[in-house]
Structure 1
Amino acid sequence: MQGWTGREGPAGVAPAAICIGPWPVTIEHKGPGSGRLGEKACRYAEAVDPISFVERPRLDRPSLLCAFRGWNDGGEAASIAARYLAEQWQARVVAHLDPEEFYDFQVTRPRVRLEDGVSRVIDWPRGEFAVASMKGRDVVVFTAVEPNVRWRTFSQAIIGAARDLGCRLLVTLGAFLTDVPHSRPVPVVGSAADEETATRLGLARSQYEGPTGIVGVLHDASNRAGIPSVSLWAAVPHYLPSAPNPKAALALVERASSLLEIPVETRSLLKAVEAWEEGVLRLVQESDELGEYVSRLETAVDQRIDEEVPSGEALAAELERYLRDHGGEPGHGMS
């Protein structure tokens, strides 16, 4: 082999294969009397599991509750809800997902913070699995930033961890921006991927067709693994600034708590909702145009209620329209 400068093997023959990560690169030697070398010359380096367990708890048929920060998280309602549930259920972290394979750090940047006012610490956007046991029921809560790349590998890693923990149901939380007034109860759309789960939990069967993203890919991986899946989406007013929306988070908390049959204390979140509503009221009062727009939305919602229009179906149609309109953009995801 011309130009070979590395350590040579027996009789001056270059090694037949070298390993780069988990994949071997086979090198053919074209010298006299040589054939293809290297069937056994290289061992595959083992692929590193991106999930590392701090402990492996023994759980009784838990559900896996997931929320992703990013496009799926209008008003940060889904991620707030997941973190709130984990906190109220006193969940403890049992595993982490290494971000190295799944994030473009120029897009999803790590953050620097001071520890004890002196040491600079980098917080990487890793995912966390936390487990809790409440009233005889176990639950696993997974939170992460929506990944930028390798969605299939990412989803398979999550579902692999779910199977290791014995999970029997996947529930994802999401929030989308739409034409709903902040002054009315927050609508939540719930759907299941299969008819049996939909019937058992009193949900609609998912009929969405169109562009999909990490939540959709995760549901697909879950269903292929034999784990039924449910998706809950809260509707968030599109006319408000992109600040945290505790009211939508509360709606997801209550719906998830009811679905999983695990009670949760909501007093602290209710206080945040009251403060948020006061701030939004001041914002609306400062703008006649915004006030008129909110009034029109309120009238439309009240009219649908008076006419007994099935708001769940109407909202599901609105969610599907939103997903189709926005789902084709890079980094967007839906189920």
Structure 2
Amino acid sequence: MNERGTRVKYVMVAAFDGWNDACQSATDVIRHLVSRYRSLEIGHINKDGYYDYQSARPMQCTIQGSRCILWPQTVFYDIAVSDSLHILAQLGPEPNYQWLEYCRGSLRFAEQYDVECIVTLGSMLAECPHTRPLPIDISNNGKPLDPDYEYNGPIGITHALDMMAIEQGFNTTSLWVSIPRYLGSADPCPQATLTLLRELGEILGLDLPAGTIENKAKQWRSRCDVTVRNNVDFEHFVSQLERDYDLHQHAKELSSAGTPMAEQLVQEAEAFLRDQD
């Protein structure tokens, strides 16, 4: 309850370092929200047995003159994005072991705060151009919004958490943004973080302020432009990605417009491709 006695609605948003987090784009959404809004650290998952400390290294630091070791752990935040809506944010490294037990512990926090929806965030490297809006794949309660897209392959902790949450009766949404593979994963991708943040705002029904992320995204696109212009191979490759992207978008527009015959759809798409030559 807040001070006025009105019930606060909670939505859980989870992001994890590691395999699910290309260029730190998903976890940077949580970090941005924590820095932007009034946030309280309200819980942890730090049980031994979840992590391989050779892959998720403990960190040594000095706090008030005393040497300390910080062990890998998951942190939960209560983020007040409005008077009536709070985010229960989950942030931590993807566990190496005991995923089912870890997910059960995560969902106990969701039950404690009576969350109405669980949103998982992820980012991945893919064959897409930086010159177009970064693709985002959305699934509600395990079903993709795009009927032509059905993922089969390796999964991360976000997938396991989403599936267990559905089994326990929670409403879930999964957001995955794609990042151009040709740019690598060494540097952050603020454009991907911005894409996830805006989509999360749509789900919450709020305009989540982006702050400095918008300017950082513009700078990221400018750096990408320079990188591509200075590499002939990159130029050709990005041009092909742009053609594929535009063709796919055009085909989706034709399909959504209710084109009666599949043959007509193919013909129009082929004509569109010829026009790009």
* Alignment TM class, shorter chain as reference: 0.7 to 0.9
Offset of residue 310 of structure 1: 7.6
Aligned counterparts of 1:289 and 1:208: Cα–Cα separation in 2: 30
Look up the match of 1:238: 181
| 1:117-152 residue CA offsets vs partner (Å, 9 max, x unmatched) | x64432222111111223321221111110000001
Q: Does the residue aligned with 2:183 lie in a helix, a strand or coil?
A: coil
Contact 1:112 1:123 in 2 (8 A): yes
Letter in 2 for 1:134: V
Provide the rounded CA distance (Å) in 1 between the counterparts of 2:159 and 2:251: 33
Cα deviation code 1:25-75 (max 9, x no counterpart): xxxxxxxxxxxxxxxxxxxxxxxxxxxxxxxxx973311000011111112
1:89 deviates by 2.7
1:128 aligns with 75
Separation of aligned partners in 2, 1:269 and 1:280? 16
Task: Work out the percentage of aligned pairs sharing the same amino acid.
Answer: 27
Shift of 1:286: 2.3
Give distance in 1, aligned partners of 2:254 and 2:183.
26
Superposition deviation, residue 82 in structure 1: 2.0
CA distance in 2, matches of 1:176, 1:159: 25
If each structure's helix is expressed as a fraction of its own residues, which one has the higher value?
2
CA contact under 8 A between 1:137 and 1:262: conserved in structure 2? no
Matches within 5 A, 1:241-320: 241-242=184-185, 243-308=187-252
User: Where does the alignment leave 5 or more consecutive residues of structure 1 unmatched?
Assistant: 1-57, 313-335
**Which position in structure 2 is the counterpart of 1:216?**
159
Change (3 A) 1:70 1:212: same
The answer to whether the 8 Å contact 1:65/1:173 transfers is yes
Letter in 2 for 1:295: S
**Aligned alpha-carbon RMSD (Å):** 2.5
**C-alpha distance in structure 2 between counterparts of 1:217 and 1:192, whole Å:** 14
Output aligned runs, 1:192-231, within 5 Å.
192-193=140-141, 203=145, 208-231=151-174
TM-score (norm 1): 0.68
* Unmatched 5+ stretches in structure 2: 1-5, 257-277
- Letter of the 1:192 counterpart: N
Contact 2:134 2:179 in 1 (8 A): yes
Structure ID, larger Rg: 1
